[in-house]
Structure 1
Amino acid sequence: MIEQVKAILGYGEICDHCLGRFYGKLSFGLTNQERGHALRVAAALDANEPYHPAAGVCWVCNNLFDQVGLWAEKVCTALEGLEYSTILVGTRVPPLLTESEEMVWSDQNLRSPEPLKSEMNREVGKAVSAKTGRMVDFKHPDVVVILDIAGDQVEVQVNPIFIYGRYQKFERGIPQTHWDCRACHGSGCEACNFTGKQYADSVEELVGRPVMVLLKATGAVLHGAGREDIDARMIGTGRPFILEVDTPQIRSADLKELELAVNTAAAGRVAVEFDRWALRTEVETLKSNKAHKKYRILVEVEGDLSEDELNLALNRLQGVTIHQRTPRRVAHRRADKIRERDVLEIRCLGIEEGRYSIEVLGEAGLYIKELISGDDGRTRPSLTEILGRPAQVTSLDVVLVEEMANGGE
């Protein structure tokens, strides 16, 4: 290895950081600077020549590591005004510096080098941590700071925060998430009164707006465990969701304070319970969660029908696997295929407003309106098919969506 070190020293002036980093994965308890100094001494002793400390401008890094303190100051300045507990530093290294070190790796067939950006990340991260008292977190940092060496600037990426909760929707006609206007696709036109929106409000906006104000955030996205139809209410225990809050300047809010702000602003329309903070990884779990759902519907049947006749028909749907071709009403946005879903429980609760009140517990993905109407034969069996007369849902409420288990790493 000493001959290899001598060869590297022969390339030109090199700092101890870069010399040590070429062997950065050897030995323990040493910084690259200490490792480089030791290698330089060992090479001088082996050659029985005078020891020459690192001097001049390093041809590999241009003495970048002399500026660690300056970069740490830039980071601290860039983070002023943000609330954060953890940080991660990354470095965008100019191609010329990367090419210089990679040339040595290749020429000398080095087996254990550490990239320049890794050392820069670590050294600046340690300096920032010492100045701010904040900890470095490699998995879930509150903020990520990118050192743009060529541009001589710092970029700050504030990671979103995630809140797990449940919402109830009491007003029909509100979609779960924001919809761009179909006519102008969000740019604003006469059809949408220049709002860019198909609907004036959504659950996402009613929940997200107060949270954005309190956390000084730039946006909020609602990830729901499924979604109810726009004309359906979501009552009972509520629908699980995760709210993703983008670029929050404040992160240590009290969840009950946020909950109160939402419930006050959206009173009578939407209500939430914020249960806990969540992780990004839980979003995918939530959205793929195949939870059973319970519905309460009002059904109108053509002609006279006794409750006994209805109950006999419902018994024929109890525990049955339903074959449903993609309903016509969603065919424009869903793949046209036949899905099989089970009716777990179905029963009549009585008569309301001249219509039958029916409760259905169904497997995730069961289309309830089509279970009743048959959708012109696309859903079989259906209540319409069994009764031999048209039946349709006039109102639908979701009363239960199963909870997902707490997420993890």
Structure 2
Amino acid sequence: MDIEILKSYPLCHRCFGRLYAKLLHTSNYERGRSIKMTKAIELESKLYDLKERSGGVERLKWGDVEEEIKKIKEELSYLYRSGLTEIRAIEGLEVDSSKCPWCKGIFQEKNLEKILEKTLKLLSEYEYDTFLVGTLLPKSIKKFEERIKTPYMESIKQEFNRTMGKLLIEKTSKTVERENPDIVILINPYKKKVKLQITPVYIKGRYRKLVRGIPQTRWPCGYCKGKGCEKCNFTGKKYTTSVEEIIAGPFMEAFKGKSEAFHGAGREDIDVRMLGDGRPFVLEIKEPKVRKVNLEEIGEKINKSGMVEVLNLEYGTRKDIISFKNKPHKKTYLALVECEEEVSDKELSELEKKLENLTVYQRTPQRVSHRRADLVRIRKVYKAWTERIDPKRFKLKVYCDGGLYIKELISGDDGRTSPSVSKILNKRCVCKELDVLKVHDE
């Protein structure tokens, strides 16, 4: 053991033991005190022997002995000043464990009690089962650790995490969870500051949009950017409500969240319904004070809106968002097509054949070009079915890649989408109504 470090830094027993944390299965305090004691016994025994020999007949020069005694006492003084007051050969030096340059007394009982009290007060507002302590170190302490680092050392934050974790388990009977805790408790023990990082609650399910005219997510007013003005009747919104608001409202009330984020597996236009078994979504409730509610009851409340229905509600994780955001889903649409001229049964039959396994080149539609990059997207139609309504109108069901703009597939969008229904029929056609029948996320 090299006690030279104690010459520059009077590390307390706990901090000195932390330098060798990986070597012996005991507490840092016991390890540090034991190492210091061993060294002190070695030095005191040398000192004793030298004094004994200096009074004998050995051929030693008194100056050499005196120098050796001085060196040993100096090394003992480093140990004494670092808190090993059991040393007999040294007395009268100042010892103050709070002046340890590494821990600065953060493990003292009064300091731990104060931090624990602050933490419990903050936690009292939240429902949780699991937690994790994270220690925030000042830059000066991080730099100090770099200077004194040994191959066997652990950072002081690891020990503080353990210490505070044990105290919190004792006081709350909650469980430490490293992978996905309900709450992360971030503590700066040097400044006695505590803040909580609340893990969001994720609710996943599917939604059906039963009416036209509402967007998927909250749409801020274009004039005031959500602040509220005469144009939006001071609501801050372009549209009165949205799928997001209809679903999130009851959940926010139940979970007592601070804010929310709505994540859908794609989105439909405002004038498009989402039917069938619905579109997958994940609702993220941020900083919830309640973590467990009856999802079925909330679902029933949402379904009474008459505009949106939810189904298959269950608790999810952040991975559910990543899963469907990164994976394109094929879709089945049903469109009401109106043509400028009459369409024959033969033409509809030919249309079905030509649309099957058709590769479509689609430049960003004019209607969304102000908010989407001007690109040419390549998508595929796999299957199409037609059903006549009258001479100029028919239903068109399309099974295709996600991201294909169906309205433009029908109209051609002035040649920006090719081929198109209008081009195949050689008639000007438009989409009058559109529904999403299925999102194929199996």
Q: Same fold (TM over 0.5)?
A: yes
Amino acid at match of 2:367: R
* Aligned with residue 60 of structure 1, among 71, 80, 102: 102
Deviation by residue 1:213-269 (Cα, 9 ceiling, x = unmatched): 0111112211000001111000111000111011111101122122123223xx210
- Secondary structure class of the residue paired with 2:270: coil
Match of 1:330 in 2: 368
Contact 1:256 1:274 survives alignment (8 Å) = no
Match of 1:407 in 2: none
2:57 is equivalent to residue 21 of structure 1: no
Deviation by residue 1:53-88 (Cα, 9 ceiling, x = unmatched): 555222221111113343223211210021001111
Cα separation, partners in 2 of 1:8 and 1:297, compared to 1, 3 Å: same
Deviation by residue 1:372-394 (Cα, 9 ceiling, x = unmatched): 11111111111100111101110
Amino acid at match of 1:272: V
- 1:26 Cα deviation after fit: 3.1
- Secondary structure class of the residue paired with 2:204: strand
The correspondence of residues 240-279 of structure 1 with structure 2, limited to 5 A, is 240-264=280-304, 267-279=305-317
- 1:352 Cα deviation after fit: 7.2
Q: Distance in 2 between matches of 1:24 and 1:349?
A: 77
The correspondence of residues 316-327 of structure 1 with structure 2, limited to 5 A, is 316-327=354-365
Match of 2:36 in 1: 40
Match of 2:118 in 1: 74
Cα separation, partners in 2 of 1:256 and 1:303, compared to 1, 3 Å: same
Contact 1:69 1:124 survives alignment (8 Å) = no
The correspondence of residues 214-253 of structure 1 with structure 2, limited to 5 A, is 214-253=254-293
- Secondary structure class of the residue paired with 2:355: coil
The correspondence of residues 166-205 of structure 1 with structure 2, limited to 5 A, is 166-205=206-245
Amino acid at match of 2:324: L
- Secondary structure class of the residue paired with 1:313: helix
- Secondary structure class of the residue paired with 1:190: coil
Deviation by residue 1:155-176 (Cα, 9 ceiling, x = unmatched): 1121111111000001111111
Higher CA-based Rg: 2
2:397 is equivalent to residue 355 of structure 1: no
Q: Distance in 2 between matches of 1:93 and 1:343?
A: 57
Q: Distance in 1 between matches of 2:242 and 2:416?
A: 30
2:347 is equivalent to residue 305 of structure 1: no
- 1:362 Cα deviation after fit: 0.6
Structure 2: segments with no counterpart, 5+ residues: 46-75, 85-94
- 1:151 Cα deviation after fit: 4.0
Please give the TM-score of this superposition, normalised by the length of structure 1. Answer: 0.91
Match of 2:133 in 1: 89
| More off after superposition, 323-332 vs 51-60 | 51-60
Amino acid at match of 2:14: H
- 1:343 Cα deviation after fit: 0.4
- Secondary structure class of the residue paired with 2:33: helix
Q: Distance in 1 between matches of 2:40 and 2:391?
A: 98
Amino acid at match of 1:40: K
- 1:336 Cα deviation after fit: 1.1
- 1:307 Cα deviation after fit: 2.8
| More off after superposition, 110-119 vs 352-361 | 352-361
Amino acid at match of 1:310: L
Match of 1:288 in 2: 326
| More off after superposition, 366-375 vs 35-44 | 35-44
- Secondary structure class of the residue paired with 2:291: coil
4+ residue segments displaced more than 6 Å = none
Identity %: 40
Amino acid at match of 1:61: C
Q: Distance in 1 between matches of 2:415 and 2:211?
A: 31
Contact 2:343 2:391 survives alignment (8 Å) = no
Match of 2:55 in 1: none
Contact 1:299 1:355 survives alignment (8 Å) = yes
- Secondary structure class of the residue paired with 1:191: coil
Amino acid at match of 1:74: K
Contact 2:344 2:391 survives alignment (8 Å) = no
Contact 1:348 1:359 survives alignment (8 Å) = yes
Please give the TM-score of this superposition, normalised by the length of structure 2. Answer: 0.84
* Aligned with residue 385 of structure 1, among 409, 423, 432: 423
2:26 is equivalent to residue 30 of structure 1: yes
Cα separation, partners in 2 of 1:373 and 1:86, compared to 1, 3 Å: same
Q: Distance in 2 between matches of 1:12 and 1:221?
A: 50
- Secondary structure class of the residue paired with 2:107: helix
Contact 1:204 1:220 survives alignment (8 Å) = no
Amino acid at match of 2:170: A
Amino acid at match of 2:41: L
Structure 1: segments with no counterpart, 5+ residues: 405-409
